[in-house]
Amino acid sequence: MFTDLIKSWVQPFGIDVVKFPPLSPLARQLKAFLHMNEINLVIDIGACDGGYCRFLRGPVGYEGQIASFEPTKETFDRLHSAMHSDAKWNGFNLGVSDVVGEGILNTYGERCDFNSLLTMREKDAVNYEVDVSKKGIEKVGLRSIDSLWNEITKDLEKPRVYLKTDTQGHDRSVIRGSEPRLGSILGIQSEIPAIEIYEGMTPMPDMLKYLAGLGYIPIGFHPINQPEVYDGATPEFDVVFKRSH
């Protein structure tokens, strides 16, 4: 309220008062989207060590429920430790796909943000300074969102869901496994490649066409990184989709 008062004093002089540091474009869009659509559950697929959860609770200002999924045991333990005091956060030591079973995850030491069921291309590993000598494999449990739905929405009378998936190339399978529940999923955030850095990634045009077929339109493209070796190109984008019907 004090900030609003200050704004009313200075705006007639062409001056505005804004939060510092300013919100990122993605934070601003999510803050508005989650509020306008009355989202009460964010499903966080590929949670790594909890960075996205901290982003939601911090800059985005989201106060609803979060269900986070991280398949590797060591990384999940760090995630759980980071969010253990948050009563509205639940964590699952699982991978998410369109099947129920087991998978082999490629891991890269401390670089949990590059762990994937797909294999990273050697050239791109060098470009991202990922030490392939630390590459390992881990057998992980896999579930679909559909098979988990009753468990993750049990405290909600009417789930209004935002699905964030960041699985280094496995996003299409994650979304495919949620298709029976799309009536409750009002928004999707998917990491989509402009440059395919893993073998078998779904190209951006195919991913956009797939989601359009499910009734989702893109409303925001947010660059994730721009390593200099790609000559100004952006290899990946966080793309925000809104359900159109």
Asked if the structure places residue 209 within a domain, the reply is yes
Tell me: the pLDDT tens digits for 70-93?
Answer: 999 888 988 888 777 899 999 999
Residue 8 included in any domain: no
Report if residue 84 sits inside a domain. yes
Report pLDDT for 3.
53
Q: Is the pLDDT of residue 7 over 80?
A: no
Using one digit for the tens of pLDDT, what is the confidence trace for 18-62? 555 688 999 999 999 999 999 999 999 999 989 999 999 999 999
Contact of 204 with 221, CB cutoff 8 Å: no
Amino acid 187: pLDDT? 98
Alpha-carbon gap, residue 84 to 95, rounded angstroms: 20
- Give me the mean pLDDT over the 2-15 stretch: 61
Phi/psi of residue 189, each to 5°? -120, 115
In angstroms, rounded to a whole number, what is the distance separating the alpha carbons of residues 29 and 133?
39
189 part of a folded domain: yes
Residue at 58 is within a domain: yes
What CATH number does the domain containing 68 carry? 3.40.50.150
pLDDT digits (tens, 9 = 90+) for 93-140: 999 999 999 999 999 877 888 999 999 999 999 999 998 888 899 999
Q: Taking the model in full, what pTM does it have? A: 0.89
What pLDDT is stored for residue 104 in this prediction? 95
Residue 3 lies in a domain: no
100 DSSP assignment: S
Give the 3-state secondary structure of 162-175.
EEEECCCCCHHHHH
Residue 236 lies in a domain: yes
Overall number of domains in the chain: 1
> What range does the domain containing 29 cover?
23-243
